[in-house]
Amino acid sequence: MQNTKTQDTFVGLFVACGIAALFFMAMQISNLSPFSEDNTFIISANFENSGGLKVKSPVTLAGVRIGRVSNIFINKDSYESVVEMHIESQYNNLPDDTAASIYTAGLLGEQYVSLEPGGSEEFLKADDKIDLTQSAIILEEVIGQFLFKDAAEE
């Protein structure tokens, strides 16, 4: 009888660990994992089209996540999408001529902002704006251009 209780306890602990692992994986995949905004600074960039970019999307530099998108809104004067990003303070040495592009992870994956540093001696500071941007590539527009280009050639 004692052996059955011990075995039941181990099975219960194993199931609890499995559920905790699944929860952790779900949080990592859905970008809902905790991201501390305590040691960050905010920079922004204007894009003609931010595509499917979402708040909490990753901001990367050389493939390494260095921050997250914190806000996306429309500039009422230029009608462009303004993307605000929280960048971890340890990356406070980004040149002020850094370029920002919106890419898609894989063919149908999530969109993210990729930063490519320039060569300036000056660095981005809190509340600075990135001037060099490349908007998201919209798959439907590319397909439409390809189809209409072929139709025009015939």
Tens of pLDDT along 70-127?
Answer: 999 999 999 999 999 999 989 989 999 999 999 988 767 788 999 999 888 999 888 8
| Residue found under tokens 């462009």 | 80
> Cβ contacts of residue 150 below 8 Å, gap of 6+?
none
- At 24-62, the pLDDT tens digits run 887 766 655 555 667 889 999 999 988 889 999 999 999
Q: What is the pLDDT of residue 141?
A: 74
Q: What is the pLDDT of residue 41?
A: 92
Percentage of the chain surpassing pLDDT 90? 46
Q: What is the pLDDT of residue 113?
A: 94
Q: What is the pLDDT of residue 112?
A: 92
Q: What is the pLDDT of residue 74?
A: 95
**Can you give the residue ranges of every domain in the chain?**
1-30, 40-144
CB 60 within 8 A of CB 66: yes
Nearest residue to 83 (alpha-carbon basis) of 15, 29, 135, 23: 135
Beta strands in the chain (DSSP E): 40-47, 58-61, 64-74, 81-88, 99-104, 111-116, 129-130, 132-134
What is the pTM for the complete model shown? 0.70
Helix (H) or strand (E) holding 14: helix 2-29
Q: What is the pLDDT of residue 146?
A: 76
